[in-house]
């Protein structure tokens, strides 16, 4: 494990809201399976955090933000994260937002707010 994965409180809140929605629409078991699968997918960033594409918004943000996609087709979710390297092979992956792919992409100001929220 070269990178430490840090999931912000805001991102955990996003995950909880999505799991709650899945539970209401389907079942507790499906929500639990989704949640556990999402956490496992996020944890894979420990080894290869740079494998995911750079978000289009990165240039305007002035900081590299990456997107991990999780799920299939119309059930795909975007995990927004940044990588802060301390050495070429170590550092911290900071997950700061999770949303369904069909939801409107947050504007630059909102992404900046999510990235720098002192409570996250």
Tens-place pLDDT, residues 44-82: 999 999 999 999 999 999 999 999 999 988 889 999 999
CATH class of 3-116: alpha beta
Contacts of 22 (CB under 8 A, 6+ apart): 30, 31, 34
pLDDT for res 7: 97
pTM over 0.95: no
Please report, rounded to a whole number, the percentage of residues in the chain having pLDDT higher than 70.
96
How many angstroms separate the CA atoms of 83 and 94, rounded?
A: 6
């Amino acid at each position: 494990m070269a990178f430490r994965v840090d999931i912000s409180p805001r991102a955990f809140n996003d995950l909880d809201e999505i799991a709650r929605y899945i539970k209401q629409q389907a079942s507790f078991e499906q929500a639990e399976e989704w949640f556990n699968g999402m956490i496992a997918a996020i944890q894979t960033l420990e080894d290869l955090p740079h494998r995911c594409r750079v978000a289009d918004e990165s240039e305007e943000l002035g900081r590299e933000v990456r997107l991990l996609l999780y799920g299939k087709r119309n059930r795909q979710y975007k995990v927004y994260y940044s990588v802060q390297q301390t050495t070429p092979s170590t550092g911290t992956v900071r997950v700061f937002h999770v949303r369904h792919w069909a939801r409107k992409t947050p504007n630059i100001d909102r992404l900046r707010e999510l990235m720098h929220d002192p409570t996250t």
